[in-house]
Structure 1
Amino acid sequence: MVSRRLLLGALGAGLAAPALAWAEGDGAAPPSVLTRKGRRTRRALKTQATDKAALDKALAQVKPLEDPNAVDPAEVHPPQAVSPDEALGRLKQGNAIFARGGASIALPTLARIAELSKGQKPFAVVVGCSDSRTGPELIFDCNLGELFVVRVAGSTVSQEGLGSIVYAVEHLGAPLVVVLGHTKCGAVGAAVDVATKHVDLHGALLNMVLPIIPAVLEAQDKHPADLQDAAIRQNVRDVAARLKVADGVLAEKLSEGRLKIVSATYDLASGLVAFDA
């Protein structure tokens, strides 16, 4: 089928009915019917047909468009924005700013909130205590969307907590996990009392301190001057060590150098975080 514009041009050139039938593809028009302009029109139609065939051939060689619904591998295994050492450096720098009283308390802008509604890319996971004085975003001078935080009294990790950490590392691309304890931790103090004074805890409170008791006993063997403080530091070191072998995803990324797991202790009095790495 030829275009409307070409048919109107053919009429203007004086094509008779048989020639129009040829233009529609219904038959061949006798040469005698065509005027000089009509013959030029016929050549134009042949050229158009040749060009169309060439175009069809070219289109057949074009790579099909990708399925818009296909899953982008980068969404499943997102590339790392920073290295583990860079992420650790950012936390150390942020804590130094906080400890000298220069931390930013600016709230995120509406534009930033809207941007984060589309996805998150935290540069570190912080496993911390629920203590109200130890908010990771504050003590590391971070803002919304920068840290993936898992908090429970005593900085221990349950199976649910482990799943949260693996999710952040595998699907969000976080290159660093910090297990953060703090001085004067009440949960560790309760574990010390259970282990040394046989204090009777019950129910959920006992379940909370049970994972900490091995760290208390290990610290006790070293005869420290302050058992609670020693147990706090031993507890986060033990949790970090267990995380390194607790899941295949974490172990693989550690071996590849794409992940670092470290322990640290926050001093309530000074605001400083002492890292074990």
Structure 2
Amino acid sequence: MVSRRLLLGALLGATAPALAFAEGEGGSPSVLTKKGRRTARALTHQAADKAALDKALATVKPMEPAPPPAPAHEAMAVSPDEALGRLKQGNAIFARGGANISLPSMVRVAELSKGQKPFAVIIGCSDSRTAPELIFDCNLGELFVVRVAGSTVSREGLGSIVYAVEHLGAPLVVVLGHTKCGAVGAAVDVATKHAELHGALHEMVLPILPAVLEAEEQHPADLQDAAIRQNVRDIAHRLKVADGTLSERLEEGRLKIVSACYDLSTGVVAFDA
């Protein structure tokens, strides 16, 4: 509620202190002195002004309270560039050691139970050192994460990505690799040293082998590192034509698909866009 003293001060100027006293704030002047009689006469005139002010205040519409924040599942949509900017900013915070690692409150958890609106899809490696929520300084409900060793995308993974884009409205897909990736290193050994992997491990590296061979043609000083970066670039390129929903949204400017690489030593993510 607005203080009556402030309103009176604005309208009556210098007479406000006396009128504040008339409302019971301050000591009582002596009516037996000349000064007290002058004060009494002034208060008589001010009482009439106060009555007029009260009448005017009665017609003033009270200020309406600010609307409550929208629930998490009704958050405003962001553009692909805005989403990318948020990831870059979050990683910059993480890389300088200022990441927010506080757990979400139960109020936040309750809001998220009503729905989700992630602003980005992260296709990452299962490596325990590359949790996207941490390296991008994000929290529950902000990222839709698909993780498998080597950051590859299976048919099931593609379905997860399409779901996040089509049904959850995610405007950005990031294919995230990382330095010293063991899955890519294993693929390099298979391609260059004819290493033998059994069963599921062999199947894990098969999608990475084309990137290894492509990187090898460039004769890099560090084949594993070059293959890591080539792998995520290839996956991002294939995703752009892998599904009609993704292709359509890319053409309309409602979606962006980019590749990136996280440096385990520095904490910095280098984006290809």
Q: Distance in 2 between matches of 1:154 and 1:241?
A: 16
Match of 2:236? Answer: 240
Structure 1 residue 122: Cα displacement: 0.1
Unaligned 5+ segments in structure 2 are 1-73
Match of 2:17? Answer: none
Match of 1:118? Answer: 114
- Superposition misfits of 4+ residues, deviation over 4 angstroms: none
Whichever residue aligns with residue 219 of structure 1, its letter is A
Structure 1 residue 80: Cα displacement: 6.6
Question: Counterpart of 2:128 in 1: which secondary structure?
Answer: coil
Match of 1:135? Answer: 131
Unaligned 5+ segments in structure 1 are 1-77
Question: Counterpart of 2:264 in 1: which secondary structure?
Answer: coil
Structure 1 residue 202: Cα displacement: 1.3
Q: Distance in 2 between matches of 1:251 and 1:206?
A: 31
Question: Counterpart of 2:134 in 1: which secondary structure?
Answer: helix
State percent identity of aligned pairs: 85
Alignment match of 2:163 (pick from 164, 167, 171): 167
RMSD across aligned C-alpha pairs, in angstroms? 1.0
Match of 2:271? Answer: 275
Alignment match of 2:151 (pick from 155, 165, 173): 155
Q: Is the 8 A contact 1:80 1:173 kept in 2?
A: no
1:32-67 Cα offsets, whole Å, 9 max, x none, are xxxxxxxxxxxxxxxxxxxxxxxxxxxxxxxxxxxx
Q: Does 1:211 align with 2:207?
A: yes
May I ask how many residue pairs the two structures share in their alignment? 200
For 1:4-153, what aligned pairs fall within 5 Å after superposition? 81-153=77-149
Q: Distance in 2 between matches of 1:210 and 1:202?
A: 12
Question: Counterpart of 1:94 in 2: which secondary structure?
Answer: helix
Q: Distance in 2 between matches of 1:144 and 1:130?
A: 18
Please, what TM-score do these two structures have when normalized by structure 2?
A: 0.72
Question: Counterpart of 1:189 in 2: which secondary structure?
Answer: helix
Whichever residue aligns with residue 238 of structure 2, its letter is R
1:167-196 Cα offsets, whole Å, 9 max, x none, are 000000000000000000000000000000
Q: Is the 8 A contact 1:79 1:173 kept in 2?
A: no
Please, what TM-score do these two structures have when normalized by structure 1?
A: 0.71
Alignment match of 1:176 (pick from 158, 172, 189): 172
Larger Rg: 1
Q: Distance in 2 between matches of 1:105 and 1:138?
A: 7
Q: Does 1:252 align with 2:248?
A: yes
